[in-house]
């Protein structure tokens, strides 16, 4: 049986019919064609599915889709685009924060959440913000460098 | 009850390309009528940046600005053959194939341009989107004009082909002799660790690595391999085990909660340096690097553990349990 | 002043902005009209004879488009590895039945209706037991990988016993490297569609697309021109996506879905238990060393836990035989490299492809030699470092060596001051003859 879920996605109201038992990751990817959050484990352990729920980073695989009724969901598409990228996305590009790119959407969401709360993070702050986002390619150093570079860049604006 | 520090070294070697050879990579390069270039390869980018490298090589050889160069993904209907992305082979084998294809395309370009400039092809160079007479640089033609002229007036295709791979070799069945390892690269990692003698936990404080990968085509991408390899090497040395009760399948891990791959908090400070002892065979002297960066950290870490507390962990990963058991068995429980 | 305009430059990734804006389309992001979703029935035990496979109930689940077993595969073997198990299962997680349905939940429902009658057997898990003559044989070809006319790859250089006799110290060690999983953040995923002209199109995450194309053409019993693979965008590989299984099963399923594409996204659990992995390696080292620290004789027995199927084990045995003596000009070398099959998931490539293991073993061994002889860790390596013109244990002439140079710089960077003679050494120096 399907239920109607009404919520705000990247600033736009959406309404979608979906089964009761699915998670937010499946709702976004399969029912709304928003494919930026990635499937990595669906066990809540890798962070590839990270989105913002009312501004807080969450593993969308652990959120029951129905519970986003009336709330705000933000994905990478709402952070920046190729035409108008967010400074963090430019920083990832310039500092080689993405190799295969698969963990990148989750990294972006966790890092944006950090920068929104703390515009002046230390290296440790960044590490703590992304400790729930697993990357197998980069060894993390250039991801941290990207976030710190973005913070620096955003301060001078 | 103490935290003891130690330093260890691991010095490794690694071949470039498939051992035993027989691993061709092929490339086709074609120039469009407006002077832009398509580099067609069959090589897979698994994150290491293969397509970026090929774009750089093609731009270098053709004198075309890199922004005008596309590099294909893989489509077996269009892409020529590539043996595969493994064995640290793409920069070397596909790089050489792209180099050869670019040079062949450049020859065609020079033939056409030579006619337009009234010189012989050997007098020409390609740079900054122009074909230039080497000794009289004010005599030049934009590459776009050469391409347009070639296409519509001379009805020629400016294109090139390249194929490169290791010579097939095998080991003799009796003596094991055979030239199966090609274009060796080398690397050394120094690990600084701290061992907690009460819990057995090993913290890697720092990894200092030096790799020779011949000519570095893109240092940013090479650094990415060093960073990623260090994390994977650390994981293998300290954290990752599919058989907690080898050789049984008991407690086989089924996710990241039981198979511990490094997080951002697990990776140590890294200092790395690349030296360039050019190879005889690679494009511009390049060698592979992608795998070597994860084979040098594990022995360095294990040797550092010995330096710290005087026990040999010869069975990795060096989990806290193994470290504590080793202290018990090898030192009678007391670390001095 | 650089001689190159682009080579040697720190340029960002070609697709860097695409990654940063999540515009990169991975295979898992692709949706095609009429797409079906795949699940498979996997063996819960590591070794069993298959007595019967009953898919009748599964076929009747509403929303199921196709259910296949080995019977439905035109050519079921890729080398020695069945696409879908027929007579037996040899590893826990091996695929026996595959289903394509309108969504993943329906596919799972159908899988739950599959009945496979297994006669469980005692699995062979210990490679050393598998080497014993009275061990159950897990393959008709036997438990050893046959190399030429032998059950191992030998390397013979010089006279290792004479070397031991001449040596002042004998150092023996055993090393074991663990079984590792690549754990790319993107699991195995694939889409296959066979069109009206009988061409099978596959969207793949393979690292070895052309190899796989050949294998799949063989499985389908068609010329390679009938298999079209689109790929090259992969969410991490590390060697785990060379021997895919998802594409082979998808390709066969797509023959039976009337042109509808089939998509299979492996779960993390499937990736952890059934994809290829780095198997355990065992090394037995015996080195003969002179009192001034030169390794003059090395004997290695190398036993590779090869999993249940051939995969790339032959390649690794060859490579390990060439490499395990290390970057050292040892005059007397005796190596026996074994790959021994056990009832474990398939073993294949993983970053290092055999030399992750050999480098670990030989670098800890040389450290043990240093400690036994009371020689500094760096000095022992400088004494035994390869120089240009040296030959490896299998006869490769080594050129453009740089073990010495990388060690010198690493020591310097680590704040370690090496003795003058080590700092002065160069790979291009002619070696001092003993």
Which is nearest to C155 in space by CA: B20, B182, B173?
A: B173
Q: Which residue of C has its CA nearest to A105?
A: C22
Nearest chain C residue to A47 by CA distance is C185
Q: At what angle do helices B95-117 and B50-62 cross, to 10 degrees?
A: 20
Top CATH class, B3-16+182-331: alpha beta
Neighbours of C207 (CB within 10 A): 27
CA–CA gap between residue B211 and residue C363 (Å, rounded) = 16
Q: Which of B85, B263, B264, B289 should be substituted to probe chain A, the one whose Cβ sees the most A Cβ atoms within 10 Å? A: B264
B278 has pLDDT over 90: no
pLDDT in tens, B243-262: 999 999 999 999 999 999 99
Q: Please indicate whether, in this complex, the C-beta atoms of A93 and C236 are within 8 angstroms of each other.
A: no
- Size (chain C), residues: 434
Please give the share of chain C, as a percent, with pLDDT higher than 70.
99
- Bridge-partner residues for C79, per DSSP? none
Please tell me if residue C173 touches chain B, with a CB cutoff of 8 Å. yes
If contacts are CB pairs under 8 Å, which of residues 337-356 in chain C contact chain B? 342, 344, 349, 351-353, 355-356
User: In a 3-state reduction of DSSP, which class is residue A72?
Assistant: strand
- Whole-angstrom Cα distance, residue C46 to residue C367? 38
> Radius of gyration (Cα) for chain C, nearest Å?
26
Q: How confident is the model at residue B334 (pLDDT cuts 50, 70, 90)?
A: confident
* B vs C: CB pairs below 8 A: 370
Q: Do C21 and A38 make contact, defined as CB atoms within 8 angstroms?
A: no
Q: Spell out which residues of chain B touch residue A141, defining contact as CB-CB under 8 Å.
A: 227, 267, 270
Please provide the distance, in angstroms rounded to a whole number, between the alpha carbons at the two ends of chain A. Answer: 50
Instruction: Give the sheet arrangement for strand C153-157, strand by strand.
Output: C153-157, C332-340, C295-305, C281-289, C169-177
Whether B200 has a pLDDT exceeding 90, the answer reads yes
A chain contacts of residue B220, beta-carbon cutoff 8 Å = 96
> Using the beta-carbon criterion (under 8 Å), do C20 and A97 form an inter-chain contact?
yes
State mean pLDDT over A26-54.
98
**Chain B contact for C277, CB < 8 A?**
yes
Contacts of C95 (CB under 8 A, 6+ apart): C40, C41, C42, C83, C84, C85, C245, C249, C274
- What residues 42-61 of chain C have any CB closer than 8 A to a CB of chain B? 46
- What pLDDT, in 10s, does the model give residues C379-422? 999 999 999 999 999 999 999 999 999 999 999 999 999 999 99
In whole angstroms, what is the distance from residue C431 CA to residue C434 CA? 9
Average pLDDT over residues C270-296: 98
Domain ranges of chain A: 2-78, 87-155
Q: Which residues are registered as beta bridge partners of B29?
A: B39, B160
- Chain C closest-CA separation from residue A143 CA (Å): 11
Q: Distance (Å, rounded) from C-alpha C10 to C-alpha C230?
A: 29
Query: Cβ of C234 under 8 Å from any chain B Cβ?
Result: yes
| Chain B residues with CB within 8 Å of chain A CB | 45-49, 220-221, 223-224, 226-232, 255-257, 261-265, 267, 270
Q: What is the pTM of this model?
A: 0.97
User: Cβ–Cβ of A140/B231 closer than 8 Å?
Assistant: yes
Predicted local distance difference test score (pLDDT) of residue A157: 67
* Of residues A45, A96, A127, nearest to B224 (C-beta): A96
CB-based contact B273:C413 (threshold 8 Å): yes
Any idea where the domains of chain B sit in the sequence? 3-16+182-331, 25-164
* Partners of chain C (3+ Cβ pairs below 8 A): A, B
Separation in Å, CA B78 to CA B84, B104, C223, C231? 16, 19, 16, 12
How much is the pLDDT for A1?
82
pLDDT at B336 over 80: no
On chain C, the residues whose CB falls within 8 A of the CB of A80 are 20-21
Residue for token pair 């994905």: A75
Nearest chain A residue to B259 by CA distance is A45
> Which of C222, C218, C215 lies closest to C195 in space, CA to CA?
C222
Q: Where are the beta strands (DSSP E) in chain A?
A: 2-9, 12-19, 50-53, 56-59, 72-74
Nearest CA in chain A to B219: A96
Closest-CA distance, B73 to chain C, in angstroms, reads 5
- Helix ranges (H only) for chain B are 50-62, 95-117, 143-152, 219-234, 292-295, 297-309, 320-331
B/e letters for C99-133, b = 16+ CB within 10 Å, e = fewer, are: bbbbebebbebbbebbebebeebebbbbbeebeee
Q: Do A89 and C21 touch (CB under 8 A)?
A: yes
C210 touches chain B (CB under 8 A): yes
Asked if B261 and C157 come within 8 Å (Cβ–Cβ), the reply is: no
The DSSP symbol for B238 reads I
Chain C CB contacts of A136 below 8 Å: 182-185, 236, 238
Say whether the peptide bond before residue A81 is cis (omega within 30 degrees of 0). no
User: Which residues of chain C neighbour B319 with C-beta distances below 8 Å?
Assistant: none
Q: Per the CB < 8 Å rule, is C19 touching A42? A: no
pLDDT at C84 (0 to 100):
98
Q: Token digits for B183?
A: 């274009």
Strand partners, C273: none
Q: How confident is the model at residue C432 (pLDDT cuts 50, 70, 90)?
A: low
Q: Distance between CA atoms of C400 and C404, rounded to whole angstroms?
A: 11
Q: Parallel, antiparallel, or unpaired: how do β-strands B74-75 and B124-127 relate?
A: unpaired
Mean pLDDT, rounded, for B88-112: 97
pLDDT over threshold 50, residue C434: no
User: Which residues, other chains included, contact B271 with Cβ-Cβ below 8 Å and sequence gap of 6+?
Assistant: B206, B207, B208, B209, C413
Q: Please give the order of strands across the beta sheet that includes B185-196.
A: B3-14, B185-196, B202-212, B269-275
Among C12, C15, C22, beta carbon nearest to A36: C22
CB contact under 8 A, B83 and C315: no
Closest Cβ opposite residue B259 in set C272, C344, C399: C272
The chain B residue lying nearest C154, using CA atoms, is B176
Q: Does the beta-carbon distance from C16 to A82 stay under 8 Å? A: no
Closest CB from B11, B14, B192 relative to C355: B14
Q: How confident is the model at residue C2 (pLDDT cuts 50, 70, 90)?
A: low
Return the SS3 of B326.
Answer: helix
What pLDDT, on a 0 to 100 scale, did the predictor assign at position C385? 97
How big is the CA angle at B233 (ends A137 and B261), to the nearest 5 degrees? 60
Task: Tell the CATH topology of B25-164.
Answer: Aldehyde Oxidoreductase; domain 4 (3.30.365)
Question: Using the beta-carbon criterion (under 8 Å), do C236 and A137 form an inter-chain contact?
Answer: yes
Residues of chain A that touch chain B, judged by Cβ-Cβ distance less than 8 Å: 41, 43, 45-46, 96, 99-101, 126-128, 130-144
Confidence category of residue C1, pLDDT binned at 50, 70, 90: very low
Q: What are the pLDDT digits (tens) for C136-156? A: 999 999 999 999 999 999 999
Domain A2-78 is found in CATH 3.10.20.30? yes
Residues of C in contact with A35 (CB under 8 A): 22, 25, 28-29
Q: CB of A61 within 8 Å of any CB in chain C?
A: no
Same fold, B3-16+182-331 and B25-164: yes
Strands (E), chain B: 3-14, 25-31, 37-41, 69-71, 74-75, 124-127, 130-133, 140-142, 159-164, 185-196, 202-212, 269-275
Please report residues of A whose CB lies closer than 8 A to that of B262.
Answer: 139
Inter-chain CB proximity B229 and A99 less than 8 Å:
no
Instruction: Render pLDDT for C205-255 as a digit per residue (tens, 0 to 9).
Output: 999 999 999 999 999 999 999 999 999 999 999 999 999 999 999 999 999
- The Cβ of residue A157 has, within 10 Å, a number of other Cβ atoms equal to 5
The catalytic position among B291, B321, B328, B329 is: B291
Q: Name the class of domain A87-155.
A: mainly alpha
Q: Cis before residue A26, ω within 30 degrees of 0? A: no
Contact yes or no for A76 and C21 at CB 8 A: yes
Tell me the three state secondary structure of residue A11. coil
Euclidean distance between CA atoms C327 and B14, whole angstroms: 9
To the nearest whole Å, the CA of C246 is away from the closest chain A CA by: 17
Q: How far is B33 from chain C (nearest CA, A)?
A: 23
CA distance B300 to B206: 11
Chain pair A-B, CB pairs under 8 angstroms: 70
Q: Does C256 touch chain B (CB under 8 A)?
A: no
Q: Are C268 and A42 inside 8 Å of each other by CB? A: yes
Cβ contact B256–A43 (<8 Å):
yes
* Strand-pair category, C88-89 with C48-54: antiparallel
Residue C357 CA, chain-centre distance (Å), reads: 12
Active site includes B291?
yes
| C contacts of A134 (beta carbons < 8 Å) | 185
Q: What percent of chain C has pLDDT over 90?
A: 98
Element (H, E) at C153: strand C153-157
Q: Phi first, then psi: give them for residue A69, nearest 5 degrees.
A: -50, 125
Show Cβ contacts of residue A13 under 8 Å, excluding neighbours closer than 6 positions.
A6, A7
- Environment class of residue A12 by beta-carbon count within 10 Å: exposed (0-12), middle (13-18) or buried (19+)? exposed
Mean pLDDT of B116-144: 97
Q: How many residues does chain A have?
A: 157
């Amino acid at each position: 049986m399907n239920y109607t879920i009404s919520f705000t996605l990247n600033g736009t109201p959406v309404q979608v019919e979906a089964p009761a038992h699915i998670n937010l990751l499946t709702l976004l990817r399969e029912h709304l064609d928003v494919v930026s959050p990635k499937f990595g484990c669906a066990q809540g352990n890798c962070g590839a599915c990270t989105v913002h729920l009312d501004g807080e980073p969450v593993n969308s695989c652990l959120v029951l889709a129905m519970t986003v009724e009336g709330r705000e969901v933000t994905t990478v598409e709402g952070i920046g685009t190729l035409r108008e990228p967010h400074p963090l996305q430019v920083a990832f590009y310039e500092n080689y924060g993405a190799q295969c790119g698969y963990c990148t959407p989750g990294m972006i969401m966790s890092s944006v959440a950090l920068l929104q709360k703390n515009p002046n993070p230390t290296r440790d702050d960044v590490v703590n913000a992304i400790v729930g986002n697993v990357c197998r390619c980069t060894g993390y150093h250039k991801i941290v460098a990207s976030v710190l570079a973005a913070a620096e860049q955003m301060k001078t604006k | 009850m103490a935290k003891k520090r130690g330093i260890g070294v691991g010095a490794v070697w690694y071949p470039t390309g498939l051992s035993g050879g027989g691993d061709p990579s092929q490339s086709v390069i074609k120039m469009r009528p407006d002077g832009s270039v398509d580099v067609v390869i069959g090589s897979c980018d698994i994150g290491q940046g293969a397509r970026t490298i090929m774009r750089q090589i093609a731009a270098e050889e053709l004198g075309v600005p890199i922004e005008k160069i596309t590099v294909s993904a893989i489509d077996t209907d269009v892409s020529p053959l590539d043996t595969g992305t493994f064995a640290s082979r793409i920069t070397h084998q596909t790089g050489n194939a792209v180099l050869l294809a670019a040079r062949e395309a450049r020859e065609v370009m020079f033939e056409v341009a030579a006619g337009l400039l009234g010189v012989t092809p050997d007098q020409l160079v390609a740079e900054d989107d122009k074909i230039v007479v080497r000794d009289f640089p004010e005599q030049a033609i934009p590459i776009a004009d050469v391409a347009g002229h070639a296409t519509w007036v001379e009805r020629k295709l400016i294109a090139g082909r390249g194929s490169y791979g290791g010579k097939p070799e095998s080991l003799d069945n009796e003596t094991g002799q055979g030239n199966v390892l090609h274009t060796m690269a080398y690397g050394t990692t120094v690990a600084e660790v701290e061992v907690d003698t009460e819990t057995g936990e090993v913290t890697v404080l720092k990894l200092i690595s030096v790799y020779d990968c011949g000519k570095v085509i893109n240092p940013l991408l090479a650094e990415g391999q060093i960073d990623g390899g260090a994390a994977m090497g650390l994981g293998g040395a300290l954290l990752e085990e599919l058989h907690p009760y080898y050789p049984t399948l008991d407690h086989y891990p089924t996710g990241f909660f039981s198979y511990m791959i490094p997080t951002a908090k697990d990776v140590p400070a890294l200092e790395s340096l690349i030296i360039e002892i050019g190879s005889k065979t690679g494009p511009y002297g390049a060698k592979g690097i992608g795998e070597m960066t994860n084979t040098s950290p594990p022995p360095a870490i294990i040797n550092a553990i010995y330096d710290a507390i005087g026990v040999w962990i010869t069975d990795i990963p060096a989990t806290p349990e193994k470290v504590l058991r080793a202290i018990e068995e090898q030192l009678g429980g007391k670390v001095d | 002043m650089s001689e190159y305009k682009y080579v040697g430059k720190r340029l960002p990734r070609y697709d860097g902005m695409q990654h940063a804006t999540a515009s990169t389309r991975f295979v898992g992001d692709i949706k095609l009209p009429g797409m079906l979703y795949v699940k498979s029935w996997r063996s819960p035990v590591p070794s069993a004879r298959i007595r019967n496979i009953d898919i009748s109930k599964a076929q009747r689940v509403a929303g199921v488009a196709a259910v296949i077993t080995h019977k439905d595969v035109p050519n079921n073997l890729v080398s020695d590895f069945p696409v879908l198990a027929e007579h037996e299962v040899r590893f826990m997680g091996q695929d026996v039945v595959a289903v394509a349905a309108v969504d993943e939940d329906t596919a799972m429902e159908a899988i739950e209706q599959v009945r496979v009658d297994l006669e469980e057997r005692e699995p062979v898990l210990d490679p050393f037991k598998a080497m014993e003559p009275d061990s159950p044989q897990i393959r008709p070809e036997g438990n050893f990988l046959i190399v030429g006319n032998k059950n191992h790859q030998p390397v013979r250089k010089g006279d290792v016993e004479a070397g031991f006799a001449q040596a002042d110290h004998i150092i023996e060690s055993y090393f074991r490297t663990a079984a590792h999983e690549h754990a790319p953040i993107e699991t195995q995923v694939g889409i296959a569609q066979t069109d009206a002209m009988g061409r099978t199109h596959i969207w793949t995450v393979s690292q070895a697309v052309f190899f796989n194309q050949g294998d799949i053409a063989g499985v389908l019993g068609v010329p390679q021109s009938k298999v079209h693979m689109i790929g090259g965008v992969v969410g991490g590989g590390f060697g785990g996506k060379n021997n895919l299984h998802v594409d082979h099963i998808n390709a066969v399923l797509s023959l039976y879905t009337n042109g509808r594409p089939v998509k299979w996204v492996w779960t993390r659990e499937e990736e952890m238990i059934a994809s290829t992995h780095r198997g355990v390696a065992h090394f037995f080292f015996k080195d003969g060393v002179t009192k001034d620290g030169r390794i003059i004789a090395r004997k290695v027995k190398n036993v590779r836990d090869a999993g249940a199927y051939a995969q790339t084990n032959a390649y690794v045995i060859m490579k390990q035989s060439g490499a395990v003596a290390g970057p050292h000009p040892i005059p007397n070398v005796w190596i026996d490299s074994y790959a021994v099959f056990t009832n474990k998931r398939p073993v294949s490539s993983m970053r290092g492809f055999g030399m992750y293991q050999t480098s670990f073993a030989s670098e800890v061994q040389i450290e043990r030699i240093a400690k036994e002889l009371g020689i500094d860790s760096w000095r022992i390596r400088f004494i035994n470092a390869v120089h240009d013109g040296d030959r490896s244990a299998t006869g490769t002439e080594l050129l453009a060596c740089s073990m010495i140079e990388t060690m010198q710089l690493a020591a310097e960077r680590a704040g370690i001051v090496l003795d003058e003679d080590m700092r002065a050494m160069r790979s291009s120096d002619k070696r001092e003859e003993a």
